[in-house]
C-alpha cells in the first residue's frame, strides 16, 4: 500500500475541495454505494500514516475544520503551497499499476442513499476512512488511463472505486482503496514518521526490542506511515542487516536508523511536491551503490506478513551476538 509520503500527497490533493458540496457521484464501489455521498458536504480531511480520513456532513452549517497540509519538520511548506501544485492535470498523484477491468463507470448520481432511500449521514457527522492498495491513487479532474494490457490482453482503463464531483467545479477520482465509515479519527502524531511531533525516544525504545529490526520498522504502532520502501532504504543507509536484533545494536546504530527513516521519508515527500522521480539505493536494485550484488528474500514475523527485503551482505553484515554491533555507516 502507498506509504506515508504518498498519502500526504493525497491529502494535499483533497484539501482544496474541503467546504464544497458533492453534486454528482460515480464509481464501482459495491460495499459503500457512491450515491451515498450525493449532496453531502466535505468538511475536513486528515491524514495519519497510511490512512486518509474525510469528514462528510449533510449540510454546510458545520464549519469545516482547518485542513491545511501538516508541515513536515518545516521543510516543505513553501513547496507544498507553490503555484506548481495548483489543481490540474499535472497535480494528480500518479501510480503505475495494472489495468482495471469492467465497463467505464459513469459519473452519475442515480442510486439509493441507503435503506428506505434515506441518507445514512442525515443525523450524524461521519468520517470516511480510506486505506489504499498497492496501486492506490487519487486523481484530480481526470481519470487514470491504462498503461499496459491486462491479463486478458485488452487495454481497459482502471475503474475508480469512487468519483466525487463538487459544486465549485472539478472532481476527485479514488482508485484501488478500501472505504468504511468510522468514528472521528484518533491521531497519534508521536508515531507518525512525517509529523513534527514524531517522538524519537519512543521510536528508539521500540527498536531496542529483542526482535529483528525489519519487523519493528513495519509496525505501524511505532512507525506510522513507514512501508517496505522506507524500511529497505533506511536499513541500507544505516548499514544494518534486516534481521539484526534491536537489543544487540548500540544506541548510536539505532539512532542512525531512526535518522535515516525520517530523512528519507522527508526527502521522498519533498520530491513528490517538486515532481521529481523517487531515487532508491537498494530497493529493487541488483547492485548497491558500492557495486556489490544485492540479495532479496521474504522476511516477516512468524505467522505475520512476509515482505520482500533487499539488502547488501557486504554493506549490511549480519553479525553474531559475540561481535560488536556498532553498524554506523560512513
Residues 157, 81 share a domain:
yes
- The span from the first CA to the last CA of the chain, in angstroms, equals 32
Residues 116, 47 share a domain:
yes
Per the domain annotation, does 322 fall within a domain? Answer: no
Tally of domains within the chain? 2
> What's the chain look like in SS3?
CCCHHHHHHHHHHHHHHCCCEEEEEECCCCCCCHHHHCCCEEEEEEEECCEEEEEEECCCCCCCCCCCCCCCCCCCHHHHCCHHHCCCHHHCCCCCCCCCCCCCCCCCCCCCCCHHHCCCCCCCCEEEEEEEEEEEEEEECCCCCCCCCCCCCCCCCCCCCEEEEECCCCEEEEEEEEEEEECCCCCCHHHECCCCCCCHHHHHHHHCCCCEHHHHHCCCCCCECCCHHHHHHHHHHHCCCCCCEHHHCCHHHHHHHHHHHHHHHHHHHHHHHCCCCCCCCCCCCCECCCCCECEEEEECCCCCCCEEEEECCCCCCCCCCCCCCCCCCC
Give me the catalytic one of 21, 263, 307, 317.
307
C-alpha to C-alpha distance for 108 and 118, rounded to whole angstroms: 18
C-alpha to C-alpha distance for 202 and 193, rounded to whole angstroms: 12
Per the domain annotation, does 137 fall within a domain? Answer: yes
CATH number at residue 295: 1.10.8.50
Residues 141, 108 share a domain:
yes
Residues 207, 145 share a domain:
no
Residues 195, 178 share a domain:
no
Higher local confidence (pLDDT), 218 or 107: 218
- The answer to whether 297 is a known catalytic residue is no
238 pLDDT band, cuts 50/70/90, is very high
Give me the catalytic one of 2, 5, 69, 160.
2
Residues 169, 23 share a domain:
yes
Per the domain annotation, does 226 fall within a domain? Answer: yes
Per the domain annotation, does 326 fall within a domain? Answer: no
323 pLDDT band, cuts 50/70/90, is very low
Residues 168, 27 share a domain:
yes
Residues 154, 102 share a domain:
yes
Residues 199, 140 share a domain:
no
Q: Does the pLDDT at position 233 exceed 90?
A: yes
Residue range 250-303, pLDDT digits in tens: 999 999 999 999 999 999 999 998 888 888 999 999 999 999 999 999 999 998
C-alpha to C-alpha distance for 52 and 247, rounded to whole angstroms: 34
Select from 123, 152, 182 the last residue of a domain. 182
**What's the confidence (pLDDT) of residue 280?**
94
Higher local confidence (pLDDT), 285 or 84: 285
Q: What is the mean pLDDT of residues 173-186?
A: 92
Per the domain annotation, does 11 fall within a domain? Answer: yes
Per the domain annotation, does 329 fall within a domain? Answer: no
Residue range 64-82, pLDDT digits in tens: 554 444 444 443 333 333 3
Per the domain annotation, does 118 fall within a domain? Answer: yes
Per the domain annotation, does 323 fall within a domain? Answer: no
Residues 194, 136 share a domain:
no
Q: What is the mean pLDDT of residues 230-237?
A: 98
Q: Does the pLDDT at position 117 exceed 50?
A: no
Structural domain range at position 71: 4-182
HSE, CB side, 13 Å, CA atoms: give it for residue 124: 8
- The answer to whether 50 is a known catalytic residue is yes
Question: Phi and psi at residue 23, in whole multiples of 5°?
Answer: -110, -15
CATH number at residue 145: 3.20.190.10
- Chain mean pLDDT for the chain: 81
Residues 135, 197 share a domain:
no
- The answer to whether 231 is a known catalytic residue is no
Instruction: Choose from 59-63, 114-118, 291-295 the range with maximum mean pLDDT.
Output: 291-295
Q: Does the pLDDT at position 183 exceed 80?
A: yes
- The answer to whether 73 is a known catalytic residue is no
Of all residues in the chain, the percent with pLDDT exceeding 90 is 61
Give me the catalytic one of 8, 9, 50, 272.
50
Select from 155, 182, 209 the last residue of a domain. 182
The model carries a pTM of 0.76
Select from 130, 164, 182 the last residue of a domain. 182
Residues 220, 279 share a domain:
yes
308: which residues sit within 8 A by CB, 6+ positions away? 228, 296, 297, 298
Amino acid at each position: 500500500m502507498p506509504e506515508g509520503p504518498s498519502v500526504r500527497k493525497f491529502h494535499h490533493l483533497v484539501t482544496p475541495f474541503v467546504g464544497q458540496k458533492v453534486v454528482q457521484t460515480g464509481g464501482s464501489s459495491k460495499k459503500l454505494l457512491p450515491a451515498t455521498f450525493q449532496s453531502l458536504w466535505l468538511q475536513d480531511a486528515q491524514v495519519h500514516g497510511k490512512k486518509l480520513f474525510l469528514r462528510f456532513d449533510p449540510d454546510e452549517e458545520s464549519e469545516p475544520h482547518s485542513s491545511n497540509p501538516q508541515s513536515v519538520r518545516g521543510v516543505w511548506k513553501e513547496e507544498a503551497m507553490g503555484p506548481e501544485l495548483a489543481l490540474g492535470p499535472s497535480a494528480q498523484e500518479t501510480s503505475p499499476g495494472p489495468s482495471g477491468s469492467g465497463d467505464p463507470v459513469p459519473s452519475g448520481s442515480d442510486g439509493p442513499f441507503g435503506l428506505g432511500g434515506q441518507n445514512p449521514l442525515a443525523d450524524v457527522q461521519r468520517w470516511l476512512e480510506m486505506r489504499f492498495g498497492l496501486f492506490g491513487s487519487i486523481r484530480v479532474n481526470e481519470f487514470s488511463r491504462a498503461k499496459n494490457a491486462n491479463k486478458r490482453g485488452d487495454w481497459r482503463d482502471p475503474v475508480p472505486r469512487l468519483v466525487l464531483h463538487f459544486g465549485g467545479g472539478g472532481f476527485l477520482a479514488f482508485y484501488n482503496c478500501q472505504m468504511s465509515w468510522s468514528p472521528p479519527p484518533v491521531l497519534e502524531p508521536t508515531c507518525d514518521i512525517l509529523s513534527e511531533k514524531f517522538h524519537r525516544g519512543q521510536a528508539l525504545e521500540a527498536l531496542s526490542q529483542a526482535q529483528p529490526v525489519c519487523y519493528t520498522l513495519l509496525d505501524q504502532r511505532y512507525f506510522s506511515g513507514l512501508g517496505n520502501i522506507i524500511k529497505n532504504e533506511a536499513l541500507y543507509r544505516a548499514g544494518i542487516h534486516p534481521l539484526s536484533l534491536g537489543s544487540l545494536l548500540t544506541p548510536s546504530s539505532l539512532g542512525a536508523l531512526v535518522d535515516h527513516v525520517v530523512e528519507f521519508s522527508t526527502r521522498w515527500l519533498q520530491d513528490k511536491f517538486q515532481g521529481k522521480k523517487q531515487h532508491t539505493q537498494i530497493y529493487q536494485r541488483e547492485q548497491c551503490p558500492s557495486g556489490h550484488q544485492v540479495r532479496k528474500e521474504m522476511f516477516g514475523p512468524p505467522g505475520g506478513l512476509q515482505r520482500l527485503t533487499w539488502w547488501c551482505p557486504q554493506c549490511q553484515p549480519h553479525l553474531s551476538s559475540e561481535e560488536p554491533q556498532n553498524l554506523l555507516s560512513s
